[in-house]
Amino acid sequence: MQLLYLGPPDTLEHVRAKLPKGFEVHFALDSASADRFIQSCDVVLDAYLGVRFPADRLSRAVNLKLFVTATTGADHVDAAVLAERGIPLLTLRGQRQVLQNLTPAAEHSWLLLMACARRLRAAIQDVVAGEWDRNKYPGIMLRGRILGIIGCGRIGQWMSRYATAFGMRCLGFDPFVDPWPENIERRDLASLLAGADFITLHVPLEEGTQQLLKAKEFQMIRPGAIFVNTSRGAVIDESALLTALLEGRIAAAGLDVLAAEPDVKDDPLIEYAKTHDNLLITPHIGGFSPDAVRHVLSFSCQRIAEFFRL
Protein backbone atom coordinates (compact mmCIF):
# COMPACT_ATOMS: atom_id res chain seq x y z
CA MET A 1 0.00 0.00 0.00
CA GLN A 2 1.32 3.44 -0.96
CA LEU A 3 1.33 6.30 1.57
CA LEU A 4 2.31 9.89 0.86
CA TYR A 5 3.71 11.57 3.97
CA LEU A 6 4.16 15.32 4.35
CA GLY A 7 5.84 16.45 7.54
CA PRO A 8 9.12 17.30 9.25
CA PRO A 9 11.94 15.24 7.68
CA ASP A 10 13.17 14.02 11.06
CA THR A 11 9.80 12.33 11.71
CA LEU A 12 9.85 10.17 8.59
CA GLU A 13 11.42 7.15 10.30
CA HIS A 14 8.98 7.54 13.20
CA VAL A 15 6.08 7.27 10.74
CA ARG A 16 7.59 4.22 9.08
CA ALA A 17 8.06 2.56 12.47
CA LYS A 18 4.50 3.27 13.62
CA LEU A 19 2.71 2.14 10.46
CA PRO A 20 1.78 -1.52 10.05
CA LYS A 21 3.86 -3.66 7.72
CA GLY A 22 2.99 -3.41 4.07
CA PHE A 23 3.07 0.39 3.69
CA GLU A 24 5.53 1.96 1.29
CA VAL A 25 6.07 5.54 2.49
CA HIS A 26 6.85 8.35 0.04
CA PHE A 27 8.02 11.64 1.52
CA ALA A 28 7.16 15.11 0.20
CA LEU A 29 7.80 18.60 1.49
CA ASP A 30 6.63 20.70 -1.46
CA SER A 31 4.03 20.69 -4.22
CA ALA A 32 6.37 19.25 -6.84
CA SER A 33 7.33 16.21 -4.77
CA ALA A 34 3.71 15.70 -3.66
CA ASP A 35 2.60 15.68 -7.29
CA ARG A 36 5.22 13.04 -8.07
CA PHE A 37 3.56 10.51 -5.77
CA ILE A 38 -0.07 11.62 -5.57
CA GLN A 39 -1.31 9.45 -8.45
CA SER A 40 -0.20 6.17 -6.89
CA CYS A 41 -0.92 6.81 -3.21
CA ASP A 42 -3.66 5.03 -1.27
CA VAL A 43 -3.28 7.28 1.79
CA VAL A 44 -2.13 10.84 2.42
CA LEU A 45 -0.78 11.59 5.91
CA ASP A 46 -0.18 15.31 6.34
CA ALA A 47 1.58 16.86 9.32
CA TYR A 48 2.93 19.81 7.37
CA LEU A 49 0.19 22.20 6.11
CA GLY A 50 2.69 23.57 3.58
CA VAL A 51 1.08 22.01 0.50
CA ARG A 52 -2.49 22.69 -0.52
CA PHE A 53 -4.74 19.93 -1.81
CA PRO A 54 -7.29 21.64 -4.07
CA ALA A 55 -9.60 19.83 -6.45
CA ASP A 56 -7.11 19.59 -9.32
CA ARG A 57 -4.42 17.94 -7.19
CA LEU A 58 -6.89 15.56 -5.57
CA SER A 59 -8.28 14.62 -8.98
CA ARG A 60 -4.91 13.05 -9.78
CA ALA A 61 -5.08 10.89 -6.65
CA VAL A 62 -7.00 8.17 -8.45
CA ASN A 63 -6.18 5.45 -5.89
CA LEU A 64 -6.80 7.56 -2.79
CA LYS A 65 -8.82 5.84 -0.07
CA LEU A 66 -8.03 7.91 3.04
CA PHE A 67 -6.73 11.40 3.86
CA VAL A 68 -5.36 11.93 7.38
CA THR A 69 -4.03 15.16 8.89
CA ALA A 70 -2.04 15.22 12.12
CA THR A 71 -3.54 18.67 12.73
CA THR A 72 -6.84 19.97 14.07
CA GLY A 73 -7.54 22.07 10.99
CA ALA A 74 -7.60 20.99 7.35
CA ASP A 75 -8.60 24.12 5.45
CA HIS A 76 -5.75 23.44 3.02
CA VAL A 77 -7.66 20.38 1.76
CA ASP A 78 -10.74 20.51 -0.49
CA ALA A 79 -12.95 18.50 1.84
CA ALA A 80 -15.94 18.73 -0.50
CA VAL A 81 -14.06 16.87 -3.24
CA LEU A 82 -13.10 14.12 -0.82
CA ALA A 83 -16.69 13.86 0.41
CA GLU A 84 -18.03 13.57 -3.15
CA ARG A 85 -15.70 10.64 -3.73
CA GLY A 86 -16.53 9.02 -0.40
CA ILE A 87 -12.98 9.42 0.88
CA PRO A 88 -12.77 9.98 4.66
CA LEU A 89 -10.88 13.04 5.92
CA LEU A 90 -9.61 12.39 9.44
CA THR A 91 -8.25 15.31 11.48
CA LEU A 92 -7.39 15.74 15.15
CA ARG A 93 -10.34 18.00 15.85
CA GLY A 94 -12.32 16.69 18.81
CA GLN A 95 -9.64 14.19 19.84
CA ARG A 96 -9.43 15.54 23.38
CA GLN A 97 -7.54 12.65 24.93
CA VAL A 98 -4.79 13.00 22.35
CA LEU A 99 -4.61 16.79 22.46
CA GLN A 100 -5.40 17.84 26.02
CA ASN A 101 -1.80 17.99 27.25
CA LEU A 102 -0.25 19.37 24.05
CA THR A 103 0.70 22.98 24.75
CA PRO A 104 3.03 24.23 21.94
CA ALA A 105 0.32 26.28 20.17
CA ALA A 106 -0.71 27.99 23.40
CA GLU A 107 2.92 28.57 24.37
CA HIS A 108 3.62 30.20 21.02
CA SER A 109 0.52 32.38 21.40
CA TRP A 110 1.80 33.53 24.76
CA LEU A 111 5.24 34.18 23.29
CA LEU A 112 3.75 36.47 20.63
CA LEU A 113 1.67 38.27 23.26
CA MET A 114 4.70 38.95 25.44
CA ALA A 115 6.94 39.86 22.51
CA CYS A 116 4.40 42.49 21.45
CA ALA A 117 3.99 43.77 25.00
CA ARG A 118 7.76 44.26 25.39
CA ARG A 119 8.49 45.46 21.82
CA LEU A 120 10.94 42.62 21.59
CA ARG A 121 11.53 42.67 17.85
CA ALA A 122 12.60 46.33 17.77
CA ALA A 123 14.74 46.01 20.90
CA ILE A 124 16.65 43.03 19.49
CA GLN A 125 17.13 44.69 16.10
CA ASP A 126 18.55 47.85 17.66
CA VAL A 127 20.98 45.97 19.90
CA VAL A 128 22.24 43.94 16.93
CA ALA A 129 22.67 47.24 15.06
CA GLY A 130 24.87 48.56 17.88
CA GLU A 131 22.34 50.64 19.82
CA TRP A 132 21.74 50.37 23.57
CA ASP A 133 18.85 52.61 24.58
CA ARG A 134 16.45 51.13 27.11
CA ASN A 135 14.32 54.29 27.15
CA LYS A 136 13.02 53.52 23.65
CA TYR A 137 11.31 50.33 24.80
CA PRO A 138 8.97 50.80 27.75
CA GLY A 139 7.15 47.52 28.29
CA ILE A 140 3.58 46.81 29.32
CA MET A 141 3.23 45.11 32.70
CA LEU A 142 0.81 42.20 32.35
CA ARG A 143 -0.31 42.05 35.96
CA GLY A 144 -3.69 43.74 36.32
CA ARG A 145 -4.38 43.77 32.58
CA ILE A 146 -7.29 42.06 30.84
CA LEU A 147 -6.92 39.23 28.34
CA GLY A 148 -9.79 38.62 25.93
CA ILE A 149 -9.88 35.05 24.64
CA ILE A 150 -11.93 34.35 21.52
CA GLY A 151 -12.34 30.59 21.42
CA CYS A 152 -12.23 29.02 24.88
CA GLY A 153 -11.47 25.43 23.97
CA ARG A 154 -8.24 23.61 24.73
CA ILE A 155 -5.80 26.33 23.61
CA GLY A 156 -7.92 29.17 24.95
CA GLN A 157 -8.06 27.48 28.35
CA TRP A 158 -4.28 27.08 28.42
CA MET A 159 -4.03 30.80 27.64
CA SER A 160 -6.29 31.57 30.59
CA ARG A 161 -4.01 29.53 32.87
CA TYR A 162 -0.95 31.44 31.70
CA ALA A 163 -2.78 34.75 32.12
CA THR A 164 -3.87 33.84 35.65
CA ALA A 165 -0.28 32.99 36.53
CA PHE A 166 0.73 36.48 35.34
CA GLY A 167 -1.98 38.15 37.43
CA MET A 168 -4.30 38.98 34.55
CA ARG A 169 -8.08 38.88 34.39
CA CYS A 170 -9.63 36.81 31.58
CA LEU A 171 -12.70 37.50 29.45
CA GLY A 172 -13.92 34.87 27.01
CA PHE A 173 -16.22 34.50 24.03
CA ASP A 174 -17.27 31.07 22.78
CA PRO A 175 -20.85 30.02 21.98
CA PHE A 176 -20.04 26.32 22.10
CA VAL A 177 -17.83 25.50 25.09
CA ASP A 178 -19.62 23.54 27.81
CA PRO A 179 -18.89 23.42 30.71
CA TRP A 180 -17.60 26.96 30.87
CA PRO A 181 -14.06 27.38 32.33
CA GLU A 182 -14.17 28.77 35.86
CA ASN A 183 -11.33 31.27 35.51
CA ILE A 184 -12.76 33.00 32.41
CA GLU A 185 -15.55 35.59 32.61
CA ARG A 186 -18.07 34.94 29.83
CA ARG A 187 -18.77 37.87 27.51
CA ASP A 188 -20.38 38.54 24.16
CA LEU A 189 -17.96 39.39 21.38
CA ALA A 190 -18.59 43.14 21.40
CA SER A 191 -17.99 43.61 25.13
CA LEU A 192 -14.89 41.44 25.02
CA LEU A 193 -13.38 43.49 22.19
CA ALA A 194 -14.15 46.75 23.98
CA GLY A 195 -12.91 45.57 27.36
CA ALA A 196 -9.65 43.70 26.73
CA ASP A 197 -6.09 45.02 26.68
CA PHE A 198 -4.93 41.89 24.84
CA ILE A 199 -7.01 39.80 22.44
CA THR A 200 -6.07 36.28 21.37
CA LEU A 201 -7.88 34.20 18.78
CA HIS A 202 -8.22 30.39 19.02
CA VAL A 203 -11.08 29.20 16.82
CA PRO A 204 -11.23 26.62 14.00
CA LEU A 205 -11.79 27.85 10.47
CA GLU A 206 -15.29 26.85 9.40
CA GLU A 207 -18.36 28.46 7.89
CA GLY A 208 -19.33 30.27 11.09
CA THR A 209 -15.86 31.66 11.79
CA GLN A 210 -14.83 32.81 8.30
CA GLN A 211 -13.85 36.46 8.82
CA LEU A 212 -15.24 36.39 12.34
CA LEU A 213 -13.47 39.71 12.91
CA LYS A 214 -14.15 42.22 10.15
CA ALA A 215 -13.75 46.01 9.98
CA LYS A 216 -16.72 46.53 12.31
CA GLU A 217 -15.18 44.31 15.00
CA PHE A 218 -11.73 45.88 14.69
CA GLN A 219 -13.39 49.26 15.25
CA MET A 220 -14.75 47.92 18.55
CA ILE A 221 -11.34 46.98 19.92
CA ARG A 222 -10.08 49.12 22.77
CA PRO A 223 -7.55 51.65 21.39
CA GLY A 224 -3.99 50.55 22.09
CA ALA A 225 -4.85 46.87 22.46
CA ILE A 226 -2.54 44.07 21.34
CA PHE A 227 -3.92 41.40 19.00
CA VAL A 228 -2.71 37.80 18.54
CA ASN A 229 -3.96 35.24 16.00
CA THR A 230 -2.55 31.71 15.93
CA SER A 231 -5.65 29.92 14.61
CA ARG A 232 -6.13 30.51 10.87
CA GLY A 233 -5.60 33.63 8.79
CA ALA A 234 -9.05 33.54 7.21
CA VAL A 235 -10.88 33.89 10.54
CA ILE A 236 -10.16 37.62 10.33
CA ASP A 237 -10.41 40.24 7.62
CA GLU A 238 -6.69 40.81 7.20
CA SER A 239 -7.21 44.11 5.39
CA ALA A 240 -9.17 45.38 8.40
CA LEU A 241 -6.32 44.37 10.71
CA LEU A 242 -3.87 46.19 8.46
CA THR A 243 -6.04 49.31 8.55
CA ALA A 244 -6.22 49.14 12.35
CA LEU A 245 -2.42 48.93 12.52
CA LEU A 246 -1.92 51.77 10.04
CA GLU A 247 -4.34 53.99 11.95
CA GLY A 248 -2.71 53.15 15.27
CA ARG A 249 -5.89 51.74 16.82
CA ILE A 250 -4.08 48.47 17.51
CA ALA A 251 -0.73 48.98 19.20
CA ALA A 252 0.80 45.72 17.98
CA ALA A 253 -0.13 42.35 16.54
CA GLY A 254 1.40 38.89 16.57
CA LEU A 255 0.40 36.43 13.85
CA ASP A 256 1.35 32.81 13.26
CA VAL A 257 -1.06 32.40 10.34
CA LEU A 258 -1.99 34.16 7.11
CA ALA A 259 -4.95 33.51 4.84
CA ALA A 260 -2.76 33.03 1.77
CA GLU A 261 -0.18 30.75 3.37
CA PRO A 262 2.05 29.21 2.20
CA ASP A 263 1.97 31.47 -0.90
CA VAL A 264 2.69 34.73 0.90
CA LYS A 265 4.83 36.60 -1.62
CA ASP A 266 3.73 40.26 -1.71
CA ASP A 267 1.25 39.67 1.13
CA PRO A 268 0.16 43.13 2.40
CA LEU A 269 0.74 42.23 6.05
CA ILE A 270 4.26 41.00 5.34
CA GLU A 271 4.94 44.15 3.34
CA TYR A 272 3.79 46.20 6.35
CA ALA A 273 5.97 44.17 8.70
CA LYS A 274 9.06 44.92 6.62
CA THR A 275 8.92 48.56 7.73
CA HIS A 276 6.99 48.38 11.02
CA ASP A 277 8.24 46.60 14.12
CA ASN A 278 4.79 46.40 15.77
CA LEU A 279 3.75 43.42 13.63
CA LEU A 280 5.32 40.03 14.32
CA ILE A 281 4.66 37.19 11.86
CA THR A 282 5.87 33.60 12.21
CA PRO A 283 5.35 30.83 9.61
CA HIS A 284 2.61 28.76 11.29
CA ILE A 285 4.98 27.16 13.79
CA GLY A 286 2.69 27.33 16.82
CA GLY A 287 2.02 23.61 17.06
CA PHE A 288 5.37 22.59 15.62
CA SER A 289 7.35 20.88 18.37
CA PRO A 290 9.07 17.52 17.73
CA ASP A 291 7.62 15.95 20.88
CA ALA A 292 4.09 17.03 20.03
CA VAL A 293 4.38 16.09 16.35
CA ARG A 294 5.57 12.57 17.14
CA HIS A 295 2.75 12.16 19.63
CA VAL A 296 0.02 13.05 17.12
CA LEU A 297 1.73 11.08 14.35
CA SER A 298 1.63 7.94 16.48
CA PHE A 299 -2.11 8.43 16.92
CA SER A 300 -2.59 9.15 13.21
CA CYS A 301 -0.73 5.99 12.22
CA GLN A 302 -2.93 4.03 14.61
CA ARG A 303 -6.03 5.46 12.90
CA ILE A 304 -4.69 4.40 9.50
CA ALA A 305 -4.14 0.86 10.77
CA GLU A 306 -7.67 0.77 12.21
CA PHE A 307 -9.18 2.08 8.98
CA PHE A 308 -7.61 -0.71 6.94
CA ARG A 309 -8.13 -3.23 9.78
CA LEU A 310 -4.44 -4.07 9.92
Q: Residue 107 carries which DSSP code? A: H
Is 271 catalytic? The answer is: no
DSSP characters over 209-251: TTTSB-HHHHHHSPTTEEEEE-S-GGGB-HHHHHHHHHTTSEE
222, 261, 294, 303: the catalytic one is 261
Q: Is 217 a catalytic residue?
A: no
Tens digits of per-residue pLDDT, 123-165? 999 999 999 999 999 999 999 999 999 999 999 999 999 999 9
The C-alpha atoms of residue 182 and residue 164 are separated, in whole angstroms, by 11
- Is 185 a residue of the active site? no
| pTM, rounded to two decimals | 0.89
Long-range contacts of 75-84 (CB under 8 A, 24+ apart): 75/205, 75/232, 75/234, 76/49, 76/51, 76/52, 77/46, 77/52, 77/53, 78/53, 78/54, 81/55, 82/58
Per-residue pLDDT tens over the stretch 166-225: 999 999 999 999 999 999 999 999 999 999 999 999 999 988 999 999 999 999 999 999
Q: Using alpha carbons, select from 110, 210, 195 the residue that is nearest to residue 148.
A: 195
Predicted confidence (pLDDT) at residue 73 exceeds the cutoff of 90: no
Catalytic residue among 169, 284, 294, 303: 284
- Which residue spans of the chain are classified as CATH 3.40.50.720? 2-94+289-307, 104-281
Domain formed by 2-94+289-307, architecture = 3-Layer(aba) Sandwich (3.40)
Catalytic residue of the set 232, 238, 294, 303: 232
Question: What is 104-281's CATH number?
Answer: 3.40.50.720
Taking the C-alpha atoms of 138, 141, 146 and 151 in order, what is their torsion angle to the nearest 10 degrees?
80
